[in-house]
Structure 1
Amino acid sequence: ICQKLKEPIEQNVYKKTAKDLADEIRSNCDSLNGNRSNLEKHILTLLSENENFSAYLYYINHPRDHFKDFIRDEVSQYITDKFSVSVLPKMKENIKLLQQKIMKAAHESTELVQVSRDAGLWLKSFTQQLSDVLIFSEKDLSGVKHDGVKDFNLLEDVIKKELPAIISDISSRFNTKSFDEKLYYKFRPEELLIDHFCQCCWVQCPFCGATCTNTIENHPGDHTVAFHRNIGLNGWFYGGTGNWSISICTSAVTSNRSFHSNDSKKSVPWREYRNAGGIYTNWSITPDLSELPYWKWFVC
């Protein structure tokens, strides 16, 4: 029984620790303790500090992937820095609690069959009590039914004796490498945080490439963004020249100028940008004459 439980125990400990760690990171990591807008501020700050033009292009053209990479880097660094003081204690505590729960399940199952001496009933009770924490079935432990087990007190004593050795063996391999290798992909703390931050709208403004800030993917209504950028960042240039446009969407829509969409030679007034059709109709760009020094600095 203990050998059969070894892998489920290991998976539970890593999975539970990953969930606890994701919650802790959301509380303690400045870049991840708010909403997506707060996360983006930290991304933009790091980009400006590194002054890596290729990284900027990747962020502008593939914002969702850039967010994911940033989150993975933040989590990886947090685990490396905090493993001995945070991750390892969580793993030890989680495996200790799991050991106690297994022993309790064995004891209560033994109490249940004191009269009937029914091995099948003992097994059913034992598996049901652990079903919320361990992934295994009665079939995995079916040997109990076929081994002629009658002394269930002895069975409980054997589990009590053998389980600590299994727990000790699992615990001896707790390290940063095993934490990285043992976790199933979808249960990793960085993937939990990516799900939290990235299940939202990622449609980009057809002019400047800024990402819609709606928190719902495929949401009804128009796309909006708090801060638009210089449209030159998205490849827009002044007609008849090869010069990037330094216009910002929110100021352009108040002007008397016009633009040509990529798929049309027709000139469309900025004030009536929705008339360009297609992707332009689903964006709400409100006039705003405020300065955006960050993106002006980047263009320069």
Structure 2
Amino acid sequence: MRSNHPALNANRSKLETYILKSLAEEENFQKYRQYIHFPKDFLENFIKKCVDDYCLDKKAQRLKNFLDISLDSFQVLVHSAIRDSTKVVKDRSGNVSLWLDEFCRRLGDVLDLPRSDLKSIEHQETRDVEFLKEAMSKALDPVLENLKKDFAGVDMGPFQRKPHKILAEQLSGCWEQCPFCKAVCTNTIFNHDGDHSLSFHRPQATTGFHWYKTNHLVTDICSSLVASNCSIVLGEDHKIPYKNYRDAGPRYSKWSITPDTSVQSYWKWFVCHFRAELESQHCGKFEGKGEIPSQWKQITKQDVLSELEKQF
């Protein structure tokens, strides 16, 4: 499935691009909120939806087909174990006990079948292994047919390890978020050495930052602010130049924020498109120092989708 699903067949960076594309297409502000503030949970839920859509598609019936094929393979293995166990017993002039030993051994890699569970068969005074072979074969087929019927309405519930959780682990990495804009560190290794970093920061208005003693939301990005003469206000008498952001404490000291004034078109569009929602959520206004640049307002949804498409 991972190799066939476009959102899951590469790395987390590509998956993030698909997430951003999906969010832009839906234009659901509440989903954006979850993505910004709870990225790990959002990613897992997004993967779950991808898995469910892919596996439970009514037309393709991929999960049912997969289970049917797996069951057919299992049926071949069991019949082979029955046949081979019978041959060994006949060659050695063995008994039912030997047959059961051989049967369990041959299926040990594919089936959890404790030998002790079959002791009752030994006590039935069955000496004809050919009869045992035929009885086992005859009993197996209707059981498998009933299972195939059950597969018609199967979902992901019976899986002991949920496929979406396995994929989420494979596509995981560092989940530390920028202390300013909450963008996630792009390192693919959890608990990695060195600083946290990312390619593109977001306008700080996305997480509700205001300019000091105003209700004006900050449209600047972290990487442009660290190149400015602005300060981080940690308290009435506690201000630190953005250039020295690492001195603000542990949350900040482990981040490498390189001076850069470029802003992705995506987040420019997001700020413009959800202006009212951001102002309401963060009790602020895009006014004064937080005025949205006029160029941002020219960016369309199609522009950002086209930009994302180039990354696939």
Alignment correspondent of 2:232: 259
- Structure 2 residue identity aligned to 1:174: F
Residue 268 of structure 1: SS of its match in structure 2?
strand
2:199 pairs with 1:226: yes
* Higher mean displacement: 86-95 or 148-157: 86-95
Alignment correspondent of 2:257: 285
From 271, 278, 282, give the equivalent of 2:243.
271
Contact 1:47–1:55 (Cα < 8 Å) also in 2: yes
Structure 1 residue 202: deviation in Å? 0.7
Contact 1:202–1:212 (Cα < 8 Å) also in 2: yes
Alignment correspondent of 2:214: 241
- Structure 2 residue identity aligned to 1:156: K
Contact 1:127–1:138 (Cα < 8 Å) also in 2: yes
Structure 1 residue 101: deviation in Å? 0.4
RCO greater where, 1 or 2, for CA within 8 Å and sep 6 or more?
1
Contact 1:253–1:285 (Cα < 8 Å) also in 2: yes
- Residues 136-215 of structure 1: pairs in structure 2 closer than 5 A: 136-175=113-152, 177-184=153-160, 186=161, 188-198=162-172, 200-215=173-188
Structure 1 residue 203: deviation in Å? 0.8
- Structure 2 residue identity aligned to 1:230: P
TM-score computed with the length of structure 2 as normaliser? 0.81
- Residues 19-58 of structure 1: pairs in structure 2 closer than 5 A: 24=1, 26-58=2-34
Distance in 2 (CA, whole Å) between partners of 1:215 and 1:66 is 17
Residue 135 of structure 1: SS of its match in structure 2?
coil
Structure 1 residue 197: deviation in Å? 1.7
Alignment correspondent of 1:113: 89
2:189 pairs with 1:216: yes
Return closer, same or farther for 1:257/1:196 CA change in 2, 3 Å cut-off: same
Structure 1 residue 164: deviation in Å? 1.2
How many aligned residue pairs are there? 271
Structure 1 residue 84: deviation in Å? 4.1
Distance in 2 (CA, whole Å) between partners of 1:272 and 1:213 is 22
Residue 27 of structure 1: SS of its match in structure 2?
coil
Distance in 2 (CA, whole Å) between partners of 1:110 and 1:210 is 63
Distance in 1 (CA, whole Å) between partners of 2:257 and 2:195 is 9
Return closer, same or farther for 1:32/1:245 CA change in 2, 3 Å cut-off: same
Kindly provide the CA deviation profile for residues 99-154 of structure 1, in whole angstroms up to 9, marking residues without a partner as x.
11011112222222223524333222211211221122112222122222322122
- Structure 2 residue identity aligned to 1:173: D
TM-score computed with the length of structure 1 as normaliser? 0.84
- Greater radius of gyration (CA): 2
In structure 2, list runs of 5 or more residues that go unmatched: 273-312
Structure 1 residue 264: deviation in Å? 8.2
Distance in 2 (CA, whole Å) between partners of 1:242 and 1:155 is 83
- Structure 2 residue identity aligned to 1:145: E
Alignment correspondent of 1:128: 105
Distance in 1 (CA, whole Å) between partners of 2:237 and 2:5 is 49
Return closer, same or farther for 1:245/1:64 CA change in 2, 3 Å cut-off: same
| CA RMSD across the alignment | 1.9
Identity %: 38
Contact 1:117–1:150 (Cα < 8 Å) also in 2: no
Distance in 2 (CA, whole Å) between partners of 1:66 and 1:179 is 21
In structure 1, list runs of 5 or more residues that go unmatched: 1-23
Distance in 2 (CA, whole Å) between partners of 1:169 and 1:85 is 18
Residue 191 of structure 1: SS of its match in structure 2?
helix
Kindly provide the CA deviation profile for residues 67-105 of structure 1, in whole angstroms up to 9, marking residues without a partner as x.
111111122222233664533332222111111101111
Residue 182 of structure 2: SS of its match in structure 1?
coil
Structure 1 residue 66: deviation in Å? 0.7
Distance in 2 (CA, whole Å) between partners of 1:149 and 1:120 is 10
Distance in 2 (CA, whole Å) between partners of 1:45 and 1:84 is 24
* Higher mean displacement: 57-66 or 70-79: 70-79
Distance in 1 (CA, whole Å) between partners of 2:101 and 2:141 is 23
Kindly provide the CA deviation profile for residues 150-197 of structure 1, in whole angstroms up to 9, marking residues without a partner as x.
22122112112221111111112222x32334333x1x3323222222
